[in-house]
Chain A
Amino acid sequence: MKRFYLIGFTLLLAFDTVNLLCFKAAGMHALPLEMSMAWLLRVFSHPWVYGAIAGYIGAFVTWMSLLKHAPIGPAFAASHLEVVTAMALSWWVFAEPVSITQIVGAGVIVAGIICLAFAEGSEDTAGRIVPG
């Protein structure tokens, strides 16, 4: 079960990140933003938007596979690791500013996910196959 969660959440994070990066790139390529057909055509004429859609589908398939066993409460919380990677990538790839408060928040999210990982670890030693 630990391996199942590790692979599942890593895949989910990867798809979410691909989705986010492609969305951002698609938006940047379609500038200026306007509520018009021309803008929509610009969005869909670049390959980026299809990467974003592929990311969505991949994340959905992974999420439904995870939920076969994972309890929804902890799993939904753990999926927010995406917030941390999104922050790191926006700073690294797109050179967007990140505040000290945001770094503290990211640290708190990671601490929470470490707690959840330990919680599932102790479920395993208790001999229960399906938590929840």
Chain B
Amino acid sequence: MHGLALALLIAYVVLDTAGQLVFKAVASDGRAGDGLARWRYMLARPWIWVGIGCYVAVFLVWIAFLSLVPLSEGVLLGALNIVAIMVAGRILFHERLTPLRVTGILLVAAGVAIVGAGS
């Protein structure tokens, strides 16, 4: 793989994982309350805007990456992300990884990779 493509791949996984973790942290903040008040609270957190910034950056990195590699290889990134976010959730939010959960997550990741390979 081209050096630039590899850099974009790493940027994609890191930015997407970071964005999702920030969203999870803001969404599960117990002080936020419910309903509209919860949204007012969440939208006033700087972190949610970091997450949205990550999203926009991921979109641009993705387009740049796809201009360097075929779509089928690009979709493999999606599979990588699923595993990265599972591991990050375990480390940062102490999410329990039961055998059934791990099996389910790995099957989804494999399925995404297979769909990519078949396109």
Contacts and interface: CB of A to CB of B under 8 A. Distances in A.
Interface of A: 61, 63-69, 71-74, 76-78, 80, 83, 87, 99-102, 104-116, 118-119, 122, 131-132
Interface string B79-119: 00110011111100111111011011111111111111111
B14 to A, nearest CB: 15
Contacts of B104: 74, 77-78, 112-116, 118-119
Contact of A102 (B27, B82, B118): B118
Nearest to B16: A76
B111 A111 contact: yes
A128 B108 CA distance: 25
B119 A109 contact: no
Contacts, number: 143
Interface residues of B, number: 44
B70 to A, nearest CB: 15
Determine which residue in A63, A77, A83, A111 has the highest number of CB atoms from chain B within 10 A of its CB, and name it. A77
B86 A109 contact: no
A73 B96 CA distance: 10
Contacts of B95: 71-74, 131-132
Contacts of B81: 76
B100 A87 contact: no
A120 to B, nearest CB: 9
A64 B119 CA distance: 31
Contact of A73 (B78, B86, B114): B86
A59 to B, nearest CB: 11
A112 B89 CA distance: 18
Contacts of B27: 64-68
Contacts of A105: 111-118
B13 to A, nearest CB: 13
